[in-house]
Structure 1
């Protein structure tokens, strides 16, 4: 009887241990998953050979061999030589790429998907490294001025281009300018390029003076934007006067909380005037009322006199 009870108790303990450990492992796994999600939102990931080799690669819907590098917070294009030119399509969308550059010679690459990044510049010689590229998706990037797409003219076989959700699309004659610069283009922003548009583009930019004028305006706009962004939004910091320094020291002595003391000491350390500082008339005039004698400027004396 006792042996049977011991056996039953052992079974109960085993079941209990199993369920507790299973619950704990589930909680740990959830914590790990949350940690991975948090890191993926904050950390930049370097595009290494290991990342390339371990990323998904497959035959896509149009029977092309595709490498998927999307959503990795990649800031810079690099190490694509590790692909050994084995892919027809590379997907770099949803990253943090700023410059379209650093490509090795990829004779096989025909489609480059790089939407939802931060691209502002394109390598002027990009066509030398991507001679077979026919499709380029640059949707939702940061291309602003017409001259920024000029390097794409070096890609000899570019036929399909998307620049949707870039500020460049809001420029006057944007579509005609792109058609004029990219002679082989067949589809722009998912709209077929018509013969009528080619004729209009050729007529509009028939003289180099017009094209240079467009580029000049674009460069001036770039300069204005850079000048406006370089101006600091914060007002110019002015060092506190001697009277304000004395008032800050007096306020530190009279403070009732540690937080207030820390705030005032920080302001004094960095030569700032804290918000809400009231400079007493006593400090302004540098004249004390005690026995008709002038104040020495000691904050203890300021407190005593107040």
Structure 2
């Protein structure tokens, strides 16, 4: 089951239980791009949710939350491109460490070397936060600028018409393999949709 939410206002949004209907217990794919989400309330998701794919592209998430580890135990695909959090040092490695079930982060397949690097930096025990992990949780990015590939992809997406954006979302929703997601990412990087 998929749920797509589209914000109609420009004010920062906190994702909380009021935003997600309680009867969505079998929800596996949640598309929340372009909603100005800045924070995920702890009570939004139960610990035994079935979410496998979470698209938070182009929101306003600036910092990590410990709940990401506890609430998304089935999460395999996460997209945070277009959020200030992606500018934090060690963002990718920490996200991979924080959510061990991830297979794809920001349209890129997670490599075993990245998992090893995460354990070197943040520890082998994912239930305890070492000093560096605690520092990552306390960091917040105030930088609204995007770097390299994120900026390139963001610029391409901004140039798309509403129909092209809708088609891109449909492709992402119906992708059944990592290869399909990688092809979509490569097309975006090359400016071809």
The TM-score range, normalised by the shorter chain, is 0.5 to 0.7
Higher helix share: 1
Contact map agreement 1:168 1:174 (CA 8 A) in 2: yes
Consecutive unaligned residues in structure 1, runs of 5 or more: 1-87, 223-306
TM-score, length basis structure 2: 0.62
Query: Structure 1: how far apart are the matches of 2:78 and 2:58?
Result: 13
Match of 2:6 among 93, 97, 101: 93
Larger RCO of the pair (alpha carbons < 8 Å, separation 6+): 2
TM-score, length basis structure 1: 0.40
Query: Structure 1: how far apart are the matches of 2:122 and 2:8?
Result: 36
Match of 2:32 among 79, 92, 114: 114
1:185 aligns with 2:102: yes
For 2:83, the equivalent position in structure 1 comes to 166
1:212 aligns with 2:127: no
Deviations 1:131-166 (A, max 9, x none): 111111000000112x24x32221221111100100
Q: 1:177 to 1:95 in 2, by over 3 A?
A: farther
How many matched pairs?
131
Deviations 1:174-217 (A, max 9, x none): 0011001101111000101111100001111116111122334x
Helix, strand or coil at the partner of 2:135: helix
Query: Structure 2: how far apart are the matches of 1:201 and 1:188?
Result: 14
Query: Structure 1: how far apart are the matches of 2:48 and 2:59?
Result: 20
Query: Structure 2: how far apart are the matches of 1:165 and 1:144?
Result: 10
Query: Structure 1: how far apart are the matches of 2:73 and 2:38?
Result: 22
For 2:93, the equivalent position in structure 1 comes to 176
Deviation at 1:106, TM superposition (A): 2.2
Q: 1:212 to 1:186 in 2, by over 3 A?
A: same
Query: Structure 1: how far apart are the matches of 2:111 and 2:27?
Result: 27
Query: Structure 2: how far apart are the matches of 1:188 and 1:95?
Result: 27
Helix, strand or coil at the partner of 2:68: helix
Instruction: Calculate the aligned-residue CA RMSD, in Å.
Output: 2.1
Query: Structure 2: how far apart are the matches of 1:138 and 1:205?
Result: 24
Consecutive unaligned residues in structure 2, runs of 5 or more: 124-128, 143-193
Query: Structure 2: how far apart are the matches of 1:186 and 1:180?
Result: 11
For 2:68, the equivalent position in structure 1 comes to 152
Deviation at 1:129, TM superposition (A): 6.9
For 2:177, the equivalent position in structure 1 comes to none
Deviation at 1:130, TM superposition (A): 6.6
Deviations 1:54-93 (A, max 9, x none): xxxxxxxxxxxxxxxxxxxxxxxxxxxxxxxxxx011113
Query: Structure 2: how far apart are the matches of 1:130 and 1:91?
Result: 20
Helix, strand or coil at the partner of 1:120: strand
